[in-house]
Amino acid sequence: MASARGRGITAGAYSGGDVARAVADAHRSDWAFVLAATVRVTADIDLAEECVQDAYVAAMDAWQRTGVPARPGAWLTTTARRRAIDALRRENTLRRKLPLLVVREGDDMSDDDRDAIPDDRLRLVFTCCHPALAREAQVALTLRLVCGLSTAEIAAAFLVTEATMAARVTRAKRKIAGARIAYRVPEARELPDRLDAVLTVIHLVFTTGHAAPSGARMVRADLVDRALWLTRMLRGLMPDEPEVRGLLALLVLTDARRETRSGEDGRLLLLEEQDRGRWDRDAIAEGKDLVLGALRGGRPGRFALQAAIAAVHADAPSYAETSWAEIRGLYDALLRVWPSPVVALNRSVAVAMTDGPAAALAEMDALEAGGALRGYRYLPAARADMLRRLGEYRSAEIAYGQALELCENDAERAFLAGRIAEMRAAGNDPAG
């Protein structure tokens, strides 16, 4: 303890490094629990956040003197709630900036016994993802309140200024309080839709992080970890929900391809091009196991089905040797529960593998005629690919050009430009 003494801390003090690490760990794993438990006391999100923040700061100091407690989460929760109660006693109406959250009558707002603190994390999650909030607000609020990310961190992850993100978060909190969005877990009949919204938010966090170009700021890669953490937390709180299992399977199976998702130029690699030897086989095993669980017991939802598709890909030794008929069947099922044009497009890519590029092209042309995918660059890109395979080089060149016009990503633009050059060359070559 010589170094501790050297810093003038009393005898019996604990290593500053260990304490800092413990606080950081507790921040990562317990923030949601502590905040949710404190909101129960304050019914005011801003005040709760302040008290929780203060509790973590207090921990840095207190744990140096007394050591890291056996249950850091419980210590932080009790400390934050105590501060909240004190603040409420001192409070006058002038201090309050936002109206209070609606917490239903019958909810116990008193200082619970330390060992009987209820787990309110589900309430927090469902409130953050309420359909009355815009999607980007749901995402920001979930990262802020459930994960404890700072406004600056969230702003950096979504490539906006801190001021923009702060305004987004404030507006969302105002909406919750002003429109009286209740702080509760939805009832059974509302649950499927509400849960779908939560899973969509988490999936969006994941894809934002997963699609980040390699070498992007660390905080974007962190989003992948946060999404996985959120899903595992949700699974712990709702162990019987197959769609939660489905989302976890989807994330785990997609993340298994992390090492191969982008090439050296930063371009996202197609499934076709990825080196399957570098896929994480342990993650794939976990994912497949989860998929089985998610598909069990009746009508699988869209996350379970997407995960099943990812599992079939994960099992295939190569793109060509994939069970495309099975994938096409899964897409059929997915379209029934999720009639999205993007899903229809992805299905048509599978059709190309089972029925040939001409059949797939016909479906893509129908999608284009429908107009729902206007501005979506993957439609002309997919059409171009089919035309290329059919030897229609001039038409393929035009379609690649349409995709290029819609594309802002430098590496992808380079890829498309390369294809265009190939098509020109092939078109000019009399040998075909």
Partner 1 sequence: MGQYLILIYEDEAGYDNATPELMNEVMEAHGRFAEQVAELGAKLEGGKALQPVQTATTIRSDVVTDGPFVETKEALGGYYLIEAKDLDQALEVAKLCPARFGGVEVRPIMTFE
Task: Kindly list the residues in this chain that would bind partner 1 in the complex (CB under 8 A).
Answer: 93, 99, 102, 104, 130, 132, 178-182, 186, 190
Nearer to partner 1 among residue 176 and residue 349 (C-beta): 176
What's the rounded Cα separation, in Å, for the pair 112 and 118?
Answer: 9
CB of 189 to partner 1, least distance (A): 10
CB of 47 to partner 1, least distance (A): 16
Nearer to partner 1 among residue 186 and residue 242 (C-beta): 186
Nearer to partner 1 among residue 174 and residue 217 (C-beta): 174
CB of 60 to partner 1, least distance (A): 37
Nearer to partner 1 among residue 98 and residue 160 (C-beta): 98
For 214-223, b/e burial (b = at least 16 CB within 10 A) is eebeebbbbb
What's the rounded Cα separation, in Å, for the pair 248 and 241?
Answer: 11
* Burial tier of 406 (Cβ tally within 10 Å: 0-12, 13-18, 19+): middle
Secondary structure of residue 156 in the 3-state scheme:
helix
What's the rounded Cα separation, in Å, for the pair 74 and 116?
Answer: 10
CB of 363 to partner 1, least distance (A): 33
CB of 191 to partner 1, least distance (A): 12
CB proximity list for 14: less than 8 A, separation 6 or greater: 4, 63, 64, 65, 66, 67, 68
CB of 186 to partner 1, least distance (A): 8
CB of 180 to partner 1, least distance (A): 5
Residue pair 314/253 in contact by the 8 Å Cβ criterion: yes
CA dihedral 277, 283, 286, 287 (to 10 degrees): -80
Residue pair 206/223 in contact by the 8 Å Cβ criterion: yes
Sign of CA dihedral 116, 121, 122, 124: positive
CB proximity list for 256: less than 8 A, separation 6 or greater: 279, 280, 281, 283, 284, 287, 314
CB of 367 to partner 1, least distance (A): 27
Nearer to partner 1 among residue 106 and residue 215 (C-beta): 106
Residue pair 246/301 in contact by the 8 Å Cβ criterion: yes
Nearer to partner 1 among residue 148 and residue 186 (C-beta): 186
Nearer to partner 1 among residue 102 and residue 316 (C-beta): 102
Nearer to partner 1 among residue 127 and residue 322 (C-beta): 127
Residue pair 69/63 in contact by the 8 Å Cβ criterion: yes
Nearer to partner 1 among residue 180 and residue 299 (C-beta): 180
Residue pair 246/254 in contact by the 8 Å Cβ criterion: no
For 36-64, b/e burial (b = at least 16 CB within 10 A) is bbbbbbbbbbebbbbbbbebbebbeebbb
CB of 104 to partner 1, least distance (A): 8
| Distances from the Cα of 82 to the Cα of 59, 79, 102, angstroms | 14, 5, 21
CB proximity list for 404: less than 8 A, separation 6 or greater: 413, 416, 417, 420
Nearer to partner 1 among residue 167 and residue 179 (C-beta): 179
CB of 181 to partner 1, least distance (A): 5
What's the rounded Cα separation, in Å, for the pair 263 and 156?
Answer: 23
CB of 36 to partner 1, least distance (A): 18
- The amino acid at residue 295 is L
Nearer to partner 1 among residue 131 and residue 418 (C-beta): 131
What secondary structure letter does DSSP report for 184?
S
> Residue 262: beta bridge partners?
268
